[in-house]
Amino acid sequence: MRTSREVKLTAAGHALLEEAPLALAALERAAERTRLAGAGITGTVRLGYPPPASFETLGAILAAVESANPNMTVIASELFSAEVPGGVLAGELDIGLALHPEPMTGISTEALRVEPLAALLSKRHRLGHAKSIPLADLEHETLLLFPRELAPAYYDHIIETCERAGFQPQVRAFAKPPARAMLARLLGARDVGLVPASFAFDLAQAQPGIVARKIVNPQILAEWSILWLARAQSAAIERFLDSARRCASDNRWLTPQDTTATAETDSLTARSR
């Protein structure tokens, strides 16, 4: 409102003055979200992973993705390795992690990590006080594993390594193994679990009465792979893959930590290419 002596804002003008900065800020945020979306930095990625990834492996990958892509949302779902490729192919998942996944037409697969298996057992087990356990010492033990159909190639790899060490392992498998039932058997000092070392040592720290021990002479190496749909790849998926690869490189996940494991590591990674 203008008079001959002064200029005053009307009530509407005051309201506009108060609201204008908020509106401009909202427009700036919208423009920034549009820019990030165009660069593939934002968006949602649906990730499937098997239970043994739930400690170190998954945590390291998600931290790397968040660091490089703070506006990206990752929806993670726990599945078994045999279920992951089908979920990716069906469009239910954008990216999957799996142990020794079976080849599937239309799915791209890349080795991300090779690590040894470790034994999970009760402190009261006869091998519980050993610093490490030669594989042959498990000949007369019952190995607590998963049903073969949940990760066929991974299961066969464990059995074949035991056979090369000179024995046919005795296996107890739970149907879609409930974690509490498995832990109960381990705490009873009856069975020995074989799981990736990154999972075993974290679980042993969190569960009183359970210890993790290295398997040696020979090691059993497990290979983690990352999977995605070959024919449809968004910028967000590419950025997720880049972050996962950088995580693997920074942590030397594909570099053998034990020189005795070099030959088997080379063999595993060669088969994934």
Beta pairing class for 132-134 and 210-216? parallel
243 Cα distance to chain centroid:
13
**pLDDT confidence of residue 202:** 93
Helix residue spans in 79-194 (DSSP H): 84-89, 152-164, 179-187
Q: Element (H or E) spanning 270, and its range? A: helix 262-272
CA 185/CA 81 separation, integer angstroms? 23
Of residues 157, 155, 162, 211, the one with CA closest to residue 183: 211
Of residues 261, 118, 115, the one with CA closest to residue 201: 118
CA 74/CA 39 separation, integer angstroms? 17
- 117-155: per-residue pLDDT in tens? 999 999 999 999 999 999 999 999 999 998 999 999 999
> Cα angle at 62 between 56 and 65, to 5 degrees?
140
Query: Strands, DSSP E only, in the chain?
Result: 43-49, 72-78, 95-99, 107-122, 132-134, 142-145, 170-173, 191-196, 210-216, 221-229
CA 20/CA 26 separation, integer angstroms? 10
Read off φ and ψ for residue 30, nearest 5 degrees: -65, -40
Read off φ and ψ for residue 193, nearest 5 degrees: -90, 145
**pLDDT confidence of residue 272:** 46
CA 111/CA 82 separation, integer angstroms? 16
Question: Mean pLDDT per 10-residue run, the chain (273 residues)?
Answer: 57 54 48 48 88 94 96 95 96 97 94 97 94 97 93 96 97 73 81 95 92 97 96 88 97 71 43 46
Helix residue spans in 69-196 (DSSP H): 84-89, 152-164, 179-187
- 34-64: per-residue pLDDT in tens? 554 455 456 899 999 999 999 899 999 999 9
Per the CB < 8 A criterion, the answer to whether 122 and 128 are in contact is: yes
- Residue 8, amino acid: K
The predicted model scores a pTM of 0.77
CA 156/CA 103 separation, integer angstroms? 15
